[in-house]
Structure 1
């Protein structure tokens, strides 16, 4: 697929997906379709072991394209189809077997904030700020994404007021993993992605699957699931290589089997 609003680059087992829809990377139907296509492709590519998702033009994403929404013709099924596309983009990131690092600079608002929260890790610079302003533009949604990262009262505050929250506060709360100066942002993301890409892709996938699947399970059922995943992983070639490398005091070479 030829992308109109995305730049995709792959090097050293790391894919960098950059949203480029000036001025603020608003999420239109078209860019959402491109994101869905890109992450589905990257999920299956054997030459990719980690993914960076970033925004260009000094913004990660200002969220839903309100102008497009205002012009939407509410014919039969239109809103259902759009809503399906919106949620499937989030799922494509969450369900991707490769770890996804969100790199934030500037605003990440509404659906753009939810997109960042769908990633496995978040790195931001001091210019970053986030908000859920849906209450002010005739929309609603995002409670589930906020509940995964914030206390109940903070999630309510963000959704009910639409207030901005700074990168420094997000870092203090543990939502942002690293806070970096702007010139260090992408090098830090690439360093983290390289560290992830060096791990066994099977182990990475099983761990990510575990996080997604145990979220709504009881402690007993969730840990039982993780034990089953560990048993399956222990029978792979990568697991045997990891053990040999540990005993031989060398770096393991993983092949994804």
Structure 2
């Protein structure tokens, strides 16, 4: 359990998240993830990082039960941890390929929205249930996956989009059966890793440099409204209903959210 790093092939590092039962990460998990991605990117022998997960889904966001139990301390920690993990993916010195299966919610959107490429299984769904969880944030990253007006509709309704829908919008590179996800992600990573190591790092820096939005600053701006929601009481009021009224049984629906 936790975050692990492996090197299945030359030039490729796989960072895998495993926090049962649904990869709703506690505060320390976000910092572990940031450290692992940063370390992989600094490794001179690595030319591409694959971000993957074990279990029922890719990511269900932060551990809301931890925030309910610890209050403001955990909320601040989750915000800082998410900011560092998202930034680590975006600022990784080499391209990052996200291999997404099952649910990708809240903080998961922050990770894949900052990735360089996404390979998804055909059961993958993507969404921000923030407004149902007493939080705000990661619209910055959802806007990198879908057109602006769709981003707003998904955000306001807490609905999800399928991997096929994101593929149609051009944000998902490839959709494959779940049992083929890891091999498909490695196939893309292998093609990237075949490039000259120095040039691929320069290419990553150059592409980041022409992005129209500073994702780190944009996300931190959003987080300010999460704190405002908490201080006003609205955040806690909604968050305290978490898991009590949802009887849908959907994976990830009652376990996590982005902070």
Check 1:65–1:79 CA distance in 2 against 1; reply closer, same or farther (3 A cut): closer
Contact preservation (8 Å) 2:11, 2:193: yes
Question: Take 1:31 and 1:65, find their aligned partners in 2: how far apart are those partners?
Answer: 10
Which residue is 1:127 aligned to? 123
Q: Does 1:177 align with 2:173?
A: yes
| 2:102 maps to 1:136 | no
Contact 2:109 2:142 in 1 (8 A): no
- Determine the structure 2 residue equivalent to 1:8: 5
Give the secondary-structure state (helix, strand or coil) at the position aligned to 2:5.
strand
Mapped partners of 2:153, 2:104: distance in 1:
17
Residue of structure 1 equivalent to 2:194: 198
Whether 1:53 and 2:36 are equivalent positions in the alignment is no
Matches of 1:165 and 1:54, distance apart in 2: 19
The superposition leaves residues 4-31 of structure 1 with CA deviations (integer Å, 9 ceiling, x where unpaired) of 5012111322111111111111121121
1:103 CA drift (Å) = 0.4
Q: CA deviation at 1:53?
A: 0.6
Q: Name the structure 2 match of 1:252.
A: none
Shift of 1:113: 1.7
Query: Is the 8 Å Cα contact of residues 4 and 36 (structure 2) preserved in structure 1?
Result: no
1:139 offset after TM fit, Å? 0.6
* Structure 2 residue ranges without an equivalent (≥5): 214-259
* Correspondence for 1:42: 40
Offset at residue 149 of structure 1 (A): 2.8
Gap runs ≥5 in structure 1: 218-257
SS in 1 for 2:85: helix
Partner of 1:72: 70
Spell out the pairing of 1:205-224 with structure 2 (5 A cutoff).
Answer: 205-216=201-212
C-alpha RMSD of the superposition: 1.6
The 2-side partners of 1:40 and 1:187 are apart by: 23
Moved over 6 A (4+): none
Whichever of the two has the greater Rg, that structure is 1
Q: Which residue of 1 aligns with 2:95?
A: 99
CA gap of 1:126–1:50, structure 2 versus 1, over 3 A, is same
Q: Normalization by structure 1: what TM-score?
A: 0.78
Identify which of structures 1 and 2 has the higher relative contact order when contacts are C-alpha pairs closer than 8 Å and 6+ apart. 2
1:127-153 Cα deviation digits (max 9, x unpaired)? 111110011010111121122232221
